[in-house]
Amino acid sequence: MLYSQSAQQLSQWHLLKGRLIDEPCEYLNQFIKQLNQLGYDIQYCVLNCKTLEPSFQLEIFNWINKSFLRESDMHTLNALTDHSIKMYDFAEGITVLQSIQSETIDSKVDSTSPIFDNYDEQKSIKINPKDLEHPLGFPTTSDNLHENISDIYSIALHTVHSPTNVFTLATSLENGFSTEQESDFELIGAIMASFLGDYTHQRMINEFMRVYLGRDIANDILKGQIARGDVQEIEAAIWFSNIKAPEFSGDQFESKKHIAKLNSYYHHLIKLIESNNGQVLKFMGDGVLAMFEGNDSCHLALEAAVESLKIQSTFEHSVSLNYGKFDFGNIGAENRMDFTALGTEIQLASKIQAQAASLGCALLGSNSFANKVTGCLKPLGHYRLEGLKKLQQLHCLISFEP
């Protein structure tokens, strides 16, 4: 199929310049700018984009020509405070990004785009401007919104990872989109789908790596630190915690309830660790290994540990805190590797945590850790820990009475 010269120019722009833009709002703004320079006269557009991170997420990009917005709309935009809505102000128009998260998102998720449920079965769908709702979902009681819109099309964007994205375009051309422009929608959709496919794929890679490996590890891998045996020495506060889970019957129903409670517990615990500049290195059964780096790492680790004991949960947990150097890096076989923390200080943190139950203390610190938080912990005495020859002096919270 032969496309118009305008569509070919748009394709050339994408190949030479557009695909180098990695920010979707900036790309969308530049894309519409190109369309308008080619005579499409777009007043607004809505781009629906589905991603995984790792829960399902629907991102709705609403681009509106500034000349299309009413004064009341601008007041409403400026008053937006919802954390799921972000606004980007460009010279050509305003882009509003709305994010909707869900356990499952299918093709019928409600959005502000005026599209039909069967859009994924067609290349493009023409929409009657009389059926138009406000592109941002704002209430309207007059026909002023429709008088400048002559034609609307929704174009299905088929990508490998999300085959039901949608791109809706509204024009104010006197006679609507021309026959030539309508025939170009297939190529226009393919160009936008190409960018969207790259964006969603990279987004999924980044988010899954961050969720499953942690922020810093994911960044290291994306920078190319993937060689087996690539290990660095880290000096940091070391956190090791474990839970004492209540007994349950073990049937499927009880098991699901147990996992749900465990996930809730981990949600609050990890949030505490990360809010105190900590990073979770591993989940080990019911245990959590984390580290805190920086000048104030021990005080932040101690604060997180104290707060963690206040988590409302059916689980009882104990925390051990240590400070020292350990090796951290890429270890394993050629076809299966893992970022792992190794060293005597890691082992010591684990051994101290195991001692917590016998002492009846939910928070224990090593001598090296206690020296970093002078006045916060009190010595309990020297103890022989399993597998270690040397006696270890342990410390607990000052408020603790054995």
- Looking at the structure, do residues 196 and 238 belong to the same domain, yes or no? no
The answer to whether residue 23 is domain-embedded is: yes
CATH code assigned at 41? 3.30.450.40
Q: Is the residue at 11 inside a domain? A: yes
For residue 33, what pLDDT is reported? 95
Looking at residue 358, which CATH number applies to its domain? 3.30.70.1230
Q: Would you say 164 and 107 are in contact if contact means Cβ atoms under 8 Å apart?
A: yes
Could you tell me if 244 and 200 lie in one domain?
A: no
In a domain, 16, yes or no: yes
Q: Same domain, yes or no, for 161 and 232?
A: no
Shared-domain flag, residues 283 and 140? no
**What tens digit of pLDDT does each residue of 128-143 get?**
666 655 555 554 444 4
Q: Are residues 38 and 100 in the same domain?
A: yes
- Taking Cα atoms as reference points, which of 308, 396, 322 lies closest to residue 359? 396
CA distance 341 to 322: 14
Q: How far apart are CA 53 and CA 40, in angstroms?
A: 35
C-alpha separations of 22 from 134, 201, 212, 223, 322 in Å = 28, 12, 23, 17, 41
Checking if the pLDDT of 281 tops 80, the result is yes
387 and 283 assigned to the same domain: yes
Q: Please give the tally of structural domains in the chain.
A: 2
- Mean pLDDT lowest for which of 16-20, 213-217, 348-352? 213-217
Distances from the Cα of 370 to the Cα of 71, 201, 289, 400, angstroms: 61, 46, 19, 15
Range of the domain at 12: 5-211
* 141-151 tens-digit pLDDT: 444 555 678 88
Query: How large is the average pLDDT for residues 100-121?
Result: 47
Contacts of 205 (CB under 8 A, 6+ apart): none
Which pLDDT tens digit goes with each residue over 368-379? 999 999 989 999
- Distance separating alpha carbons of residues 170 and 112, to the nearest angstrom: 13
Give residues with Cβ within 8 angstroms of 15, minimum separation 6: none
Q: What is the pLDDT of residue 202?
A: 83
Residue 221 resides in a domain? no
Q: Which of 162, 186, 211 is the last residue of a domain?
A: 211
- The alpha carbon of 225 is separated from its chain's Cα centroid by a whole number of angstroms, namely 22
User: Nearest-CA neighbor of 136 among 50, 84, 73, 92?
Assistant: 73
Task: Please check whether residues 193 and 234 belong to one and the same domain.
Answer: no
Cα gap 165→16, rounded to integer Å: 24
Domain shared by 34 and 78, yes or no: yes
Give Cα separations from 116 to 44, 45, 227, 395, 399 (angstroms). 18, 16, 49, 65, 63
Main-chain phi, psi angles of 189, to 5 degrees: -65, -40
Asked whether the beta carbons of 323 and 376 are under 8 A apart, the reply is no
Assess whether 240 and 175 both reside in one domain. no
Mind listing the pLDDT tens digit for each residue in 336-365? 888 888 899 999 999 999 898 788 889 999
Does 219 map to a domain?
no
Residues 187 and 245 in one domain: no
Q: 9-13, 16-20, 86-90, 105-109: which range is least confident on average?
A: 105-109
Amino acid occupying residue 202: Q
93, 64 contact by CB (below 8 A): yes
| Same domain assignment for residues 70 and 184 | yes
Out of 180, 211, 242, a domain closes at 211
Do 370 and 258 share a structural domain? yes
Distance CA 63, CA 81 (A): 18
Q: Give the whole-angstrom CA distance, residue 139 versus residue 130.
A: 15
CA distance 306 to 376: 11
Average per-residue pLDDT in the chain?
81
Q: Find where tokens 């990508």 sit.
A: 159
In a domain, 218, yes or no: no
Q: Does residue 314 have a pLDDT over 90?
A: no
